[in-house]
Amino acid sequence: MKEQPEKSPPPLSVEELARRLNCPFEGDGAREIRGVSSLEKAKEGDLVFLSHRKYLSLLERSKASAAIIPSKERYDRIPVIKSENPYISFIKAVEIFYKPYCPKPGIHPSALVSPSAKIGKDVTIGPFAFIGDEAEIGAKTVIFPFVAIYPWVKIGKETVIHSHVSIREEVKIGNRVIIHNGTVIGSDGFGYLQDKDHPHIKIPQVGTITIQDDVEVGANTAIDRAALGETIIKKGTKIDNLVQIGHNVEVGPHSILAGQVGISGSTKIGKNVIMG
């Protein structure tokens, strides 16, 4: 398995960039754009964006070669690409110029993959990763070095698991999920029975976790498996670094949990919730 070489993104003309963004442009369409930047830090060859006219003074002083501006705004000092939502168009431009690092598909010789594991097409498994018995890894998923995937885990397509993540037995993870470094999915819930003769009796945590499609989980986060049943993170939810989610929690779709949020066991959170 060979890593992709690093290289600078090729320049694009303003006209070509506008075409890819499906937006009209005004000014010199032949001007080359080599990257993106903020208004304050931009240099020649950079693209910036203007979200509101209150930032026009920053754009006026900027050294950028082109800007994405609101459709109704007028500006002629440099070429402009006009958008109904400049921020979204700028995000798309960032994705055009900069691709995230990803090693080429293949299984590194040092990875330990169970013979009974099912590995999909074009999967990447990095050095010293472990894939347990009867685990299933969907097509085009990327497993970075030192990831531990326990037996009977199911992971969907085009998911990215970064280094030092541990995914415990029987966890189910959907498609296009991103899990950042050091996170633990499926650790035992914190459950103990208090008894006068036998203090702190551990309650077996025999449930599991389901993480649905398009979820992103930050670094060093812990999501506990259910005592019985399942802990559920529903589609599109984004979880920051250093978040603790207890056993049997249900997080509704498209919610956001900011860093250091802690959710006690059996809590139910609705859709589109933002917690910080």
Question: Are 143 and 233 contained in the same domain?
Answer: yes
pLDDT over 70 percentage in the chain: 97
Q: CA 113, CA 93: separation in Å to the nearest integer?
A: 38
pLDDT at 99 over 90: no
Angle at alpha carbon of residue 13, lines to 12 and 16, rounded to 5°: 85
Question: Are 21 and 85 contained in the same domain?
Answer: yes
Among 243, 273, 275, which residue's Cα sits nearest to residue 260? 243
Looking at the domain assignment, is residue 54 inside a domain?
Answer: yes
Question: Are 149 and 265 contained in the same domain?
Answer: yes
Q: Identify the helix (H) or strand (E) that includes residue 60.
A: helix 56-61
pLDDT over 90 percentage in the chain: 93
Q: Identify the helix (H) or strand (E) that includes residue 129.
A: none
pLDDT at 82 over 60: yes
Once rounded to an integer, what is the mean pLDDT over residues 111-137?
A: 99
Q: CA 63, CA 178: separation in Å to the nearest integer?
A: 35
Once rounded to an integer, what is the mean pLDDT over residues 109-121?
A: 99
What SS3 class is residue 240? coil
Residue 242, Cβ density class (10 Å: 0-12 exposed, 13-18 middle, ≥19 buried) = middle
239 close to 259: Cβ distance less than 8 angstroms: no
Model confidence pLDDT, tens digit, residues 181-221: 999 999 999 999 988 888 899 999 999 999 999 999 999 99
Instruction: Quote the pLDDT of residue 217.
Output: 99
Looking at the domain assignment, is residue 268 inside a domain?
Answer: yes
Name the E strands within 162-249: 166-167, 172-173, 178-179, 184-187, 192-193, 201-202, 208-211, 216-217, 222-224, 230-233, 238-239, 244-245
φ, ψ of residue 93 in degrees (nearest 5): -65, -40
Instruction: Quote the pLDDT of residue 131.
Output: 99
Among 186, 251, 190, which residue's Cα sits nearest to residue 225? 186
Looking at the domain assignment, is residue 85 inside a domain?
Answer: yes
- Domain boundary at 45, 77, 97, which? 97
Looking at the domain assignment, is residue 161 inside a domain?
Answer: yes
225 close to 208: Cβ distance less than 8 angstroms: yes
CATH number assigned to the domain comprising residue 248: 2.160.10.10
Question: Are 61 and 120 contained in the same domain?
Answer: no
Looking at the domain assignment, is residue 4 inside a domain?
Answer: no
Question: Are 72 and 120 contained in the same domain?
Answer: no
pLDDT at 2 over 50: no
Instruction: Quote the pLDDT of residue 196.
Output: 85
Question: Are 244 and 122 contained in the same domain?
Answer: yes
Looking at the domain assignment, is residue 31 inside a domain?
Answer: yes
Instruction: Quote the pLDDT of residue 89.
Output: 98
- Domain boundary at 97, 127, 149, which? 97
Question: Are 135 and 232 contained in the same domain?
Answer: yes
- Is 247 designated active site? yes
Catalytic position from the list 52, 180, 247, 254: 247
Instruction: Quote the pLDDT of residue 1.
Output: 45
Model confidence pLDDT, tens digit, residues 210-253: 999 999 999 999 999 999 999 999 999 999 999 999 999 999 99
Greatest CA separation for the chain? 82
Instruction: Quote the pLDDT of residue 20.
Output: 98
Instruction: Quote the pLDDT of residue 7.
Output: 59
Looking at the domain assignment, is residue 5 inside a domain?
Answer: no
Q: CA 225, CA 265: separation in Å to the nearest integer?
A: 10
Instruction: Give CA torsion, residues 231, 204, 219, 109, to 10 deg.
Output: -110
Question: Are 46 and 159 contained in the same domain?
Answer: no
Question: Are 194 and 83 contained in the same domain?
Answer: no
Model confidence pLDDT, tens digit, residues 41-66: 999 999 999 999 999 999 999 999 99
Looking at the domain assignment, is residue 3 inside a domain?
Answer: no
- Domain boundary at 62, 97, 132, which? 97
126 close to 144: Cβ distance less than 8 angstroms: yes
Instruction: Quote the pLDDT of residue 233.
Output: 99
Once rounded to an integer, what is the mean pLDDT over residues 255-266?
A: 98
Question: Are 82 and 158 contained in the same domain?
Answer: no
Question: Are 164 and 76 contained in the same domain?
Answer: no
Q: Which tokens sit at 239?
A: 């979880």
Identify the domain containing residue 185 by its residue range: 106-275
- Count up the domains in the chain and report the number: 2
What SS3 class is residue 9? coil
Mean pLDDT of the chain: 96
Instruction: Quote the pLDDT of residue 199.
Output: 87
Once rounded to an integer, what is the mean pLDDT over residues 98-113?
A: 94
pLDDT at 8 over 90: no
Question: Are 92 and 112 contained in the same domain?
Answer: no
261 close to 242: Cβ distance less than 8 angstroms: no
- According to DSSP, the residues that pair with 82 across neighbouring strands are 69
Q: CA 25, CA 76: separation in Å to the nearest integer?
A: 11
Instruction: Quote the pLDDT of residue 4.
Output: 45
Instruction: Quote the pLDDT of residue 97.
Output: 95
pLDDT at 100 over 90: no
CATH number assigned to the domain comprising residue 41: 3.40.1390.10
